[in-house]
Amino acid sequence: MVAWRLVRGALLLAALAPRLIARAQDHGHHDTRWEEDGHDHDEDHEDHDDHDDHEDHEDHYEDDEPDEYALHIENLIPEASFTSPFNSHDESGQRFVPNWLHGGDALTKQSFVRLTPDTPFASGYLWSKKPLGTDVFSLEWKFRISGLQETGAGEHLGLWITDQARPREGDVFGMDAAFTGIGIVVDTKRNEGDNRHRDVSVVMSDGRRTREQIQSNLVGCNANVRYWEGRDDFNVLRATRIRVNENLFTLDIDARNTGRWRRCVTMNTVDLPRGWAERATAGLLAGNQAESNNNDVLSLRLYKSADSAWVLEKYEGEDEDADGEWGILVHHIEHEMFTVHNSLKSAVQLLEKAETSAEHRITALENKLSGDIARKLEERMRALEGQVHRSVTRSVHSKVTAAEKTMAERMESTLSGSAAQAARTWRYPFYLLCGAVGAMCLLSYLKYNELRKEHLL
């Protein structure tokens, strides 16, 4: 899929390159031309389209259109509106939409704002910094929901006109239920068995309704608003347009950007407090679940009048090709390269997860192997120790027994010889002792007699 996208983009670039080079030489930089000549281009386009059908009204428009067009432009609320190209950059070089905050996974490109890439569980928002400042408004919102999965993907993309100056996460299509205002929600995920599902729904609350009360009062219609990027005829001109008149609250939809509008919702907004719209801010919020979509916003025009959005095409024509082949090419390349980048990023993440999983498995295997080896070594050491102990014990016992036997024999032999020799030699000392005693007795007797003769005794 990624390789096919690169090939398709290269073929389109090769086909348009000669005309783009000639155009660049004739007109210089695209941005300057668009700003200086965009109005004339739109008028020429409109005159060309309407020549056959409205020839009899041309003189009337030539007289009246300048004032009407100036009034139409004057009714635009610039702080709450935007359209491509997005050429503002912040300090880090990233594109942004002036007067709007962005967050989450939202990313601004030259030709569109991608609130969520085709990535599971991605979410992003774009929120106006300033309130509308008008009680009556109309709007036209142009967007594209597409993805690589053929059916059943996505979650929600919503345009919210509420009292929330910043998005507060909640469970009403990603919004907190405690809001005052209106939300226009496109939900491409049809849950099995949900008979209340509408592809396009209007959510309304006065700030006191619960989630259950809000969802039980949804009104809307079904429309084929999601594009499968695997189709051969998919291109960046595929889009959906919604326009709203807040005064009577009617919502029309041009699901396939063909210029054929149909009524989707008509409802009463009397439950909303007086002056709510003047204090409200506009915001765009999108979210994916496990099955994801690209949620791209192409333009949003808010007017401080009830009918300006309904006459928008009269003055600005079908603006998807208002910038000509150059704008189409830039838009196409951005879309394709973003998808390629996202696919490569997803592939890298999968590889990183696989690497982490492999590392964990290797570590577990190493631990298991080391444990098994240690256990087996310990068992073998114990067996070897037992074997050595038994062998040494037997050897020592036999040697000790032999030594004891030898020593006993030697001691018995020695003692036997000593006893025999002692038995033979004891008489001589005895005889000498007896002779000595007898001699001493004799000497004592003789001494006695001598002393007696001397009359000493």
H/E element holding 206?
strand 200-206
Query: What pLDDT score does 139 carry?
Result: 94
What radius of gyration, in Å, describes the C-alpha atoms of the chain? 52
Give the residues across from 113 on adjacent strands: 108, 297
In sequence order, the 6+-apart residues with CB closer than 8 A to the CB of 134 are 77, 277, 278, 304
- Asked if the model's pLDDT at residue 380 lies above 60, the reply is yes
What residues form DSSP beta bridges with 254? 241
Give mean pLDDT, residues 295-306. 94
| List of residues 6+ apart from 391 with CB closer than 8 A | none
Beta-bridge partners for 180: 206
pLDDT of residue 5: 52
pLDDT at 392: 82
Assign 457 a pLDDT band (cuts: 50, 70, 90): low
- Name which of 47-61, 326-340, 418-432 the model is least confident about: 47-61
| pTM of structure | 0.65
Q: Which residue has the higher pLDDT, 53 or 120?
A: 120
Please state which CATH number belongs to domain 54-322. 2.60.120.200
Q: What would the DSSP string read from start to end of 52-99?
A: TTSGGGHHHHHHHHHHHHHHHHHHB-GGG-EES---EE-TTS-EE-TT
Name every residue whose Cβ is closer than 8 Å to that of residue 123 and which is 6 or more positions away in sequence: 104, 105, 116, 174, 285, 286, 287, 288
Instruction: Return the SS3 of 381.
Output: helix
pLDDT tens per residue, range 273-287: 988 999 999 999 999
* Rounded Cα distance, 140 and 250, in Å: 12
Structure tokens at 363: 């570590």
Residue 15: CB partners within 8 Å, gap ≥ 6?
Answer: none
Distance CA 379, CA 374 (A): 8
Distance CA 126, CA 404 (A): 101
DSSP state of 453: H
Q: Which of 44-53, 146-155, 166-175, 324-333 has the highest mean pLDDT?
A: 166-175
Res. 359: pLDDT tops 80: yes
Beta-carbon contacts of 347 under 8 Å, excluding residues fewer than 6 positions away, are: none
pLDDT at 328 over 90: no
**Boundaries of every domain in the chain:** 54-322, 426-457
Task: List, as own/partner pairs, every contact residues 358-362 make where C-beta atoms lie below 8 angstroms and the sequence separation is at least 24, other chains included.
Answer: none
In angstroms, the first-to-last Cα distance of the chain is 152
196 pLDDT above the threshold of 90: no
pLDDT at 129 > cutoff 90: yes
Mean residue pLDDT of the chain comes to 79
Task: Please give the torsion angle defined by the CA atoms of residues 281, 286, 287 and 292, in that order, rounded to the nearest 10 degrees.
Answer: 180
Distances (CA, A) of 207 to 216, 338, 382, 416: 15, 39, 77, 123
Q: Are 98 and 88 in contact (CB under 8 A)?
A: yes
Are 309 and 140 in contact by the 8 Å Cβ rule? The answer is: yes
Q: Which residues contact 238 (CB under 8 A, 6 or more apart)?
A: 144, 146, 227, 256, 257
pLDDT-wise least confident of 71-85, 111-125, 232-246, 433-447: 433-447
Q: What is the pLDDT of residue 13?
A: 52
Model confidence at 34: pLDDT above 50: no
**What is the spatial distance between Cα 187 and Cα 184, in angstroms, rounded to a whole number?**
10
Average pLDDT over residues 52-74: 54
**Average pLDDT, integer, range 350-375:** 85
Q: How many CB atoms are located within 10 Å of the residue 97 CB?
A: 21
**Mean pLDDT, residues 299-311:** 90
Q: Which residue has the tokens 């700003």?
A: 35
pLDDT for residue 63: 46
Fill in the DSSP letter of residue 241.
Answer: E
Across the range 395-406, mean pLDDT stands at: 84
Q: Half-sphere exposure (CA, 13 Å, Cβ side) for 356?
A: 6
Asked whether the predicted pLDDT for residue 59 surpasses 70, the reply is no
Asked if residues 72 and 315 have their Cβ atoms less than 8 Å apart, the reply is yes
Query: How many C-beta atoms surround the C-beta of residue 263 within 10 A?
Result: 10
Does position 39 have pLDDT exceeding 50, yes or no? no
Residue 257: CB atoms within 10 Å? 17
What letter represents residue 11's amino acid? L
**pLDDT grade, residue 78 (50/70/90)?**
very high
Backbone angles phi, psi at 64, to 5 degrees: -100, -25
Provide mean pLDDT across the span 121-144. Answer: 94
pLDDT score at 23: 46
